[in-house]
Structures are given as structure tokens and as C-alpha cells.
Chains A and B, each alone.
Chain A
């Protein structure tokens, strides 16, 4: 792991430990992610993947360990402060705002981190042209344009997942943390999601938790296998899928 000193490292966490009662959800876990890469985290249920995301996003405080995001120490920051640094997090259950229209989701995401005068329209705010172009491109690619005036509760499950990702992108993040972005999607929707993630990885770091190994194969540059809060192994998809250890803990438990 010589990458730990690399300047383009956007996530650098070491020694992360988190206990729930007597159970170690994270046990001396370390993670390093470079800019513009897709990193997949796989592992059986209870391996600590979702806990890892909550710790990185500032939603849970680790018992021990150090987290650096985008070059600065965030161990003492809360979820909002971490979000404002440019870390966008999607948790396991897709969460959009049911009564807000698609357009309204994008509006508040674009204005995230501004003050009340800007929100009330009393003071103007510069808006990034590049980000606006990306959003409108994605809205077209994902067929969300025609749903612009519909409430999120009227959208399909897959559309809601995409809306959440597009909303996160409107905050102009530099790191995307996505917990099961393809969950509950039909086969073709998963394919489009994979395309989307690969496209986004040209601009930012993307860390994905995923159960579906076929989906992982579509997107990942490198894969981390977690087991009982620890790193089991890591490498390319082919390397980890040949690893007998992985078959035992992951595939074994998945087919059981």
C-alpha cells in the first residue's frame, strides 16, 4: 500500500474500529481510494460494509482509527460538515423526498450549503455551468427529464435510485459513497447504472458497496472483500473471484 502517501488519494482511513455491544462491525480496517477510480466493497451480510460507509460519512463515530478525506482529517466532523467538503453518501435504502418533485430535488441539492438569504432568493448565487451541464445530460440519459414535475413518490424504484444519485451529483461532490446503487433494479436498469458509474468515475472517486457480483464485474477497477469487519483480500475482480478464501466466506454464505 505505497499509495498511502500518494497526493491524489481522496480517501485514506486507517485502523477503523467500531463495536456494537460485543460485536466488532469494523476491526482495524483500512481503506485508500484514489481520485477517479471505482472501488467496490463486497462481503457477506454483517461484514461491516454499511458501518464503514456510515463512519466515513460522519454518521457514526468510530471507536478508534483515523479518517482523511480529500487530504484533511475529518475524524471530528459531523455528517453535514463532511457532506459540505464534497462527500456525497447514498445509504442502503434509497432515500429521496417523497413529496418533492424531481426538479425540486435538483434545486435544493444545487443550493446545499448556502445561507437562508440565498435560499429565499434575496441574494443571488453563482451556479456552476459544468455541473448544470452534467446534470442535464444525466437527466436526459436516464430518462428523468420527462418526470421532472412528478413527485418522487410517483417514480419507480429504479428511477428513485437514479434520482438520488443525480441529486447527490448536483451538490458537486468529489467523492461518491454508494451503498447498493443497483439494488432492486431490473437487468437493463443495472446495465445503465453501471454505465453511469463508469462515466462518473472519470470525474470523481466512486466507492460502491454491492452484493451482486455480476454488477461488480461490470464496474470495478478493484475490489475489496470484507469479512467480519476486516479486510479479507483485495485485487481485481478476476483475482478475487479465483480466491478460494472468498468463495468460502462470500459465495458460500450467499448460496447457503
Chain B
């Protein structure tokens, strides 16, 4: 019983709860400063990457936590984008926008429900699930190209109504230009992140990780793992659909959004950022997004080569991704500071 530091005496800055609040406030400040500080072009780019990071976040829940590898996760994003854009081609205004959100989230969720029911319940797992999603992506991309009247074919859809939402005190607000889409996307990301964090910290989140570790063992404890995986797939595809719906604020939807190449990019973002960390995939998406933009400006044709090499380097040196590496550094620093207390 020597006079070491007691938790009650710790300064407020080392208290995890107030530190978390501080980090949140700092992030909010950065997010709020971007539209004022950056050029409209840069804000537009950031908006896209924020929307994409919602997709990466949902991929992380599915792959990083649940261990379910999908090579077609972007398909759910693209379906959401198309469903919302088609709705907005026929309906305008606030009610049209709300309906676009419902349909943009609902269509991918329903597909996920069907897939989960047919695949997980008949024990299609691992690589086979990945291959089925891959094949389905090709099917949907082809359908989008072929059915010109409905989807605009190769040219995609544009010229649909501007999404408009009603806000108390502000009335009807068009999600258009640079700032409004940016704000809506950041809010969307914050909501999805909160949701993802809540899910992963619940018993459901633990069960999902247990499925990744040893599905048969969890089943032997009395869990219906096929049902849990279906629920997880529906949640993550709803999130991907929301991201797709938010993407309509760009004003243009094309078949590539459904395709395999885009799905692979999502895997790369999650892999680089660090799967199973929630924060990592968001960082990965934004980092790789800007890297791609800069590289594609400098090297018009060979930029994917550099992104590929970057991915390889990450896989070789930090196989768990960038964020766990950063986190380990932070933990080491914290542990070093706390040593006298831990031994007391």
C-alpha cells in the first residue's frame, strides 16, 4: 500500500471518457472547418470519400468483425444509388427524397435478406459466398448497362431531382452544391459510426466475432449462426444502401458503382485502414481516395499500379492495417506513462 496514483486523482486529460469527448470535439471542429478552409473542388472530393467511407465501414462490420468476405459489397451501394436515383427521376421534393432514402436502403436490404436466407441457411460460406457475390455483381452491372430505358445504360443516370430534406428552422433544404452534400454525408457517417460502434460493443458484436473465430463452436453453444449472419448482412447492406443513396447528391450514377472493380477497391480501403477497427477503414478510404486522386492527376494511366503497390506494402509490413499499428503506438505510450500505477 504505497502512495501511488489513484484513479480519482488522475488529471481529467487522462480520463478515458473526457479524452474521448475531446477527440470527438476535435473531429467535429476539423469537419466543420473543411468547407471554410478548402476549395470547393476539395470539399466535393471529401464528400465523395466520406460517402465511400460509410461503405467501407459497413464492409468492416461484415468482413472485419463477421469474417464474411464479400467480393460484391459495392453492388449493394450501387443498387442503393440506382434505386434512389430512379425514385428521384419520377418524384421530386421532400417526399420524393424521403421515399428515395427508404427505397435506396430497402432494396439492398431485401437482396441481402434473400442472399442470407439462401446462402447462409444452406451453409454456403467462406470463399463460396465471396464467389456468389462476385457473380451477382457482374449480373447487376450487366443489367444496368443493358436496360437502357430504366438505368440509362452505359451513360448512367443523371438529371434526376435534387434531393431535398426538411429541417426544423431551415425549411426545405436542397442537398446540392458543395457544402450541403458535405454536411449531410458527414452526419450520415457519424450516425453510421455510432451505430457500428454500438453493434460491435453489444453481445451481438461479440457473437459476430465468435462466428469469425469458430462458427461451429458457437453453433454448439446453441446459437443460430446462419440467422446472426443474415442479420449482419442485412444491417451492413442497409448501410451500404444508405451510402449509395447519399451518393445521388453527386448528381450522377453509373454502372461502375455496381461492379467488381469498385468492390475490390472497398476491400483495399478496409485492408489498408485495418479491418475490425471501424476507424481504420474510414481513414483508409479517405487516405487512399486522396492518394488515388493525386496519382491519377500525375500519372494518367498507371496510377492503379501505385495503389496496388501501396496495398502490397501494407499487407507485407502491417498485415493488420495502418490503424492497429497507430493504436499500438498509442497504447505503448499510455502504458509507459501508467507504469507506476500498474505495479502498485
Interface residues in chain A, defined as those with a beta carbon under 8 Å from any beta carbon in chain B: 57, 59, 79-80, 83-84, 88-89, 91, 95-100, 104, 107-109, 111-113, 116, 118-121, 167-168, 171
Contact = CB atoms under 8 A, between A and B. Distances in A.
B301 interface: no
Contacts of A104: 206, 209-210
By secondary structure, the B interface counts as: helix
A116 B213 CA distance: 19
A113 B224 CA distance: 8
B196 to A, nearest CB: 12
The 9 closest A-B pairs by CB, nearest first: A119-B204, A83-B222, A97-B213, A112-B222, A84-B222, A119-B203, A95-B217, A113-B222, A97-B210
Contacts of B209: 97, 99-100, 104
A107 B213 contact: no
Contact of B202 (A112, A119, A168): A119
A116 B231 CA distance: 8
A95 B214 contact: yes
A96 B209 CA distance: 12
Contact of A171 (B212, B217, B221): B221
Interface of B: 198-199, 202-204, 206-207, 209-210, 212-214, 217-224, 227-228, 231
Contacts of B221: 83, 88, 108-109, 112, 167-168, 171
Contacts of B219: 79-80, 83
A84 B223 CA distance: 8
B202 A121 contact: yes
Contacts of B228: 116
B222 A107 contact: no
Nearest to B219: A80
B203 A121 contact: yes
A91 to B, nearest CB: 8
B206 A107 contact: yes
A153 to B, nearest CB: 9
B123 to A, nearest CB: 12
A171 B222 CA distance: 9
Contacts of B210: 97, 100, 104, 108
Contact of A120 (B203, B213, B224): B203
Residue picked from B202, B218, B219, B221, most chain A C-beta under 10 Å: B221
A108 B198 CA distance: 16
B202 A120 contact: yes
B206 A79 contact: no
A111 B203 contact: yes
A119 B207 contact: yes
A112 B220 CA distance: 10
Given A57-B220, A80-B219, A98 B213 contact: yes
